[in-house]
Amino acid sequence: MAEDPVGLDVPTDVSPAELEQIAIELARVAGRFVVADRPRELGVSRTKSSATDVVTEMDQRCQDLLRERLAATRPGDGFYGEEEGGRRGSSGITWVDDPIDGTVNYLYEIPAYAVSLAAVVGDPAAVGGWRPVAGAVVDPVAGELFHAREGGGAWRITADGVRRQLVLEEPSALDLALVGTGFGYDPRVRTWQAEILLEVIAEIRDIRRIGSAALDLCHVADGRLDLYFERGLNAWDLAAAWLVVSEAGGSLTGLDGRPPGSDMVVAGGPRLLPQLQRLVLAAVDKVGPVPVAGVG
């Protein structure tokens, strides 16, 4: 992939192709699980950064399932997920999972959520201190799976089993680009994000807020979106989809030469990504810094 913020090497005894197969199989298992085992009365089991930042019992159960399966398959690997229960490893590989990306959609039965699973090197808790090696994102309602490994291309498998390599294509100009974005759970941050969006929206074709960052990024790779930007993402939201975008010929970055991380993620192809980056940077300069540092 083009960005290698830390120059971390993949351990020599590790096969990225094998990690990719594990990611595909487990993302599929987890995707089936969140659809099939959803209780009739799905409630909120706890909240995180705000009253609307919810965790359902299925987020935690899905993460537990992935963690247990990975411990059985590759006991030396670390595990870092959105919900409770991480593990340090000894192999040099850490699995990063978002058991349900798009939890609010899942809660409301809006069919736009995903399971994201990636094998990474480095420390996924440190912005700029890790990179993905292999990963998969499954959209269990559409029955679609996106997968990639370093140097292996980006792929989409549709519900009827058709496997197609993804090659990112770009419109000729920014004002023709359909741009995905998202908003955080803290209302003060969301208001700031809306102010940034006001500076961007007149310069593009239109905006989409689908509600799953992992799917948004995969859709930049498959052409359902042209570009994407969002503040407040964590490693679990983007680990697998980062690789899908970069293996399709695009990239993810932050602002001002920084790596993609919680401050900002901008994603797209080589023609329009720098233009969106400049637009978002100018918007941040005009609007001012986010009012609540460290809150997504």
The footprint of ligand IPD (CB under 6 A) covers 82, 98, 101-104, 182-184, 211-213, 230, 232-233, 237, 296
Between 97 and 247, whose beta carbon lies closer to ligand IPD?
97
Between 52 and 91, whose beta carbon lies closer to ligand IPD?
52
Output the residue with the shortest Cβ distance to ligand IPD. 182
Contact 143, 137 (CB under 8 A): no
**Rounded CA Rg of the chain:** 18
Sheet holding 163-166, edge to edge: 78-81, 94-101, 114-122, 130-139, 144-149, 154-157, 163-166
Q: Quick one: what does residue 211 bind among ligand IPD, Ca ion, none, with the CB cut-off 5 to 8 Å set by partner type?
A: ligand IPD
CB of 156 to ligand IPD, least distance (A): 19
CB of 182 to ligand IPD, least distance (A): 2
**How large is the greatest C-alpha to C-alpha distance in the chain, in angstroms?**
51
- Angstrom distance (rounded) from CA 70 to CA 64: 10
Output the residue with the shortest Cβ distance to Ca ion. 101
CB of 214 to ligand IPD, least distance (A): 6
End-to-end C-alpha distance for the chain, whole angstroms: 27
- Angstrom distance (rounded) from CA 126 to CA 203: 33
Residues 89-108 as x/- pattern, contact with Ca ion by CB under 5 A: ---------x--x-------
Instruction: With H, G, I as helix, E, B as strand and everything else as coil, classify residue 209.
Output: coil
CB of 16 to ligand IPD, least distance (A): 25
Asked if 263 touches Ca ion (CB under 5 A), the answer is: no
Q: Quick one: what does residue 130 bind among Ca ion, ligand IPD, none, with the CB cut-off 5 to 8 Å set by partner type?
A: none
Amino acid occupying residue 196:
I
Asked if 237 touches Ca ion (CB under 5 A), the answer is: yes
- Angstrom distance (rounded) from CA 23 to CA 155: 13
Between 212 and 246, whose beta carbon lies closer to Ca ion?
212
Q: Where are the alpha helices (DSSP H) in the chain?
A: 16-36, 57-73, 103-107, 187-200, 213-222, 235-247, 273-287
Between 130 and 185, whose beta carbon lies closer to ligand IPD?
185
Contact footprint for Ca ion (CB under 5 A)? 98, 101, 237
